[in-house]
Amino acid sequence: MNEEIKEIFSLLDDYVSYKREVRNKYPYHVNPIEEIRANENANSRILGTLLRYEHNGEYKILKSFLERMLPEFRIEKLSKPVIESEQYRIDLSVREAGKYAIIFENKIHNAVLQKNQLARYIEKLHDEEHFSYNQIYVIFMPPTVGYESNDCCWHKFVDGICGKCDNGECKLNYSPELRKMFKNENRYKKITFRDDLLNWLKEDVLPNLTEKEELLKSSVILYIDYLEGLFQLRMNEKNIYMELRDFIVKKLKLDDKVLEGKIDVLQQEKEKIDSLCKELENMRLFYMWELIEEKMKPIVENIAKSYELECDLRVYNDGNRTFSLGFKRKDWDLNIIFACFVNCGMDLYIGKHNAEPISGYSTYKCINGWNGDSSDREKFPHGCVWLKKYENKILDLLRDVTVDDGAEFKRFLEDKLYHTLKEIEGHPNEITMKISSSQ
């Protein structure tokens, strides 16, 4: 083994061993919210459950939230608020018919704001629930300061859609009128989880819960601890972090060096570890694709046998990581080919059989309709459909092959073959592509 790699593994082993030793000095810590890896929807449900608390007609937690966080909204009297998660796909909403509607957009894990996202929510409440624009309020909830809602999420459909919306980059050179209106009329507020929500829970909510509200109090304590863990604010973890930092300083002999020297040593070690991690990931993917091929083969063969088809599976375990599946019957003059490119999606081709393997397909272009060259047209004269439904699910389908006996992948393949064969049956040499790409 390369001496450099030996040194890296030795450092990692020592670090992991010391980290375990340090952690054992402190009380055992567990938080169920942390253990289930709560996503944005789960956090929205937790917050909604707290705001929904009512006793003798009083919504004291919701009232506290409005008074501390949103005094500029001027929502004073609470009668019977409806507090829901995922209604109209809104993370969390609080509303009373004819009075007010508050939209909570939760980005605790830095999810990207989608194009027209806030505009769509506002229009839904305006059109479906008949709230006027001046009754609708928007709360944007990023994890920390420094995050802001982008222009594109405020654009109405009529304002146009920027192709780079999903990356938070907008070509449109004006600020949307909708955002101007909400900001100018104090109906938009940014509230961060770390600096605003957490402090509100610790300073306003927790101290005002009584002994009779013990279970509610324990839930708030648990959520506070979860947020402190998420933002590395737990005292025990701070102490652990400092001890581990001291370990690295001693191990790399940083105390003997000036500041520039410390930075250089740390950069060199980081580059070594990054390089090793990259190689480990490449090896992991290589073996993963070997496993996918091993698990996928019997699934494909059994399905082909049930339809009396010949089949051919090709997995290309290189940097592109693609696979193709080919099916035909002996009396056909054509092939059915599923061509998958993991980073793009999957195409379904029907074309004339030739001397290549049944699954033979060399271009690997994710196309919608025909924009290939003439040789493509000759090879697949009956056309191509892009299986849009599976565009973003290819990795999930492949992962399913390795962990769940391929049940989902099997359903996908049987469904597509069934509809394709229905089109072909009776006239295999005259088929025209009619398969719906949304099936």
Residue 222 has pLDDT above 70, yes or no: yes
Higher pLDDT, 366 or 194: 194
Most confident of 201-205, 242-246, 345-349, 407-411: 201-205
Query: How many helical (H) and strand (E) elements, i.e. helices and strands, does the chain have?
Result: 13, 10
Q: Which of 170-184, 224-238, 259-273, 359-373 has the lowest mean pLDDT?
A: 359-373
3-state SS class at 101:
strand
pLDDT on residue 383: 59
* pLDDT tens column, 90-100: 999 999 999 99
Q: Is the pLDDT of residue 177 over 60?
A: yes
Mean of the per-residue pLDDT values for the chain?
A: 81
Q: Please choose, from the candidates 398, 295, 378, the residue with its C-alpha nearest in 3D space to the C-alpha of residue 338.
A: 398
Asked if 332 and 353 count as a contact pair (C-beta separation under 8 A), the reply is yes
Summarize pLDDT for 292-324 with one digit per residue, the tens: 888 888 989 998 888 888 888 888 777 666 788
- CA pair distance 40, 96, nearest whole angstrom: 24
Which amino acid would we find at residue 174? Y
% helix / strand / coil in the chain, to the nearest 5?
Answer: 50, 15, 35
Specify the range with the lowest mean pLDDT, choosing from 4-18, 205-219, 226-240, 346-360.
Answer: 346-360
Instruction: Give the whole-angstrom CA distance, residue 76 versus residue 79.
Output: 10
Could you tell me the pLDDT band of residue 51, with boundaries at 50, 70 and 90?
very high
Centroid of chain to Cα 326? 32
Strands 384-386 and 345-352: antiparallel
For residue 3, the model assigns a pLDDT of 81
Do residues 345 and 387 touch, judged by C-beta distance below 8 A?
Answer: yes
Handedness of CA 251, 252, 255, 256 (dihedral sign): positive
**Count of other CB atoms within 10 angstroms of residue 305:** 11
pLDDT digits (tens, 9 = 90+) for 134-156: 999 999 999 998 887 877 788 77
Q: pLDDT confidence of 228, banded at 50, 70, 90?
A: very high
Q: In this predicted model, what pLDDT tens digit does every residue of 330-345 receive, in sequence order?
A: 777 677 888 777 666 7
Give the 3-state secondary structure of 330-369: CCCCEEEEEEEECCCEEEEEEEECCCCCCCCCCCCCCCCC
**Residue 121: what pLDDT?**
92
pTM of the predicted model, to two decimals?
A: 0.63
Rg of the chain, C-alpha, whole Å: 29
Domain locations in the chain as residue ranges = 35-230, 294-424
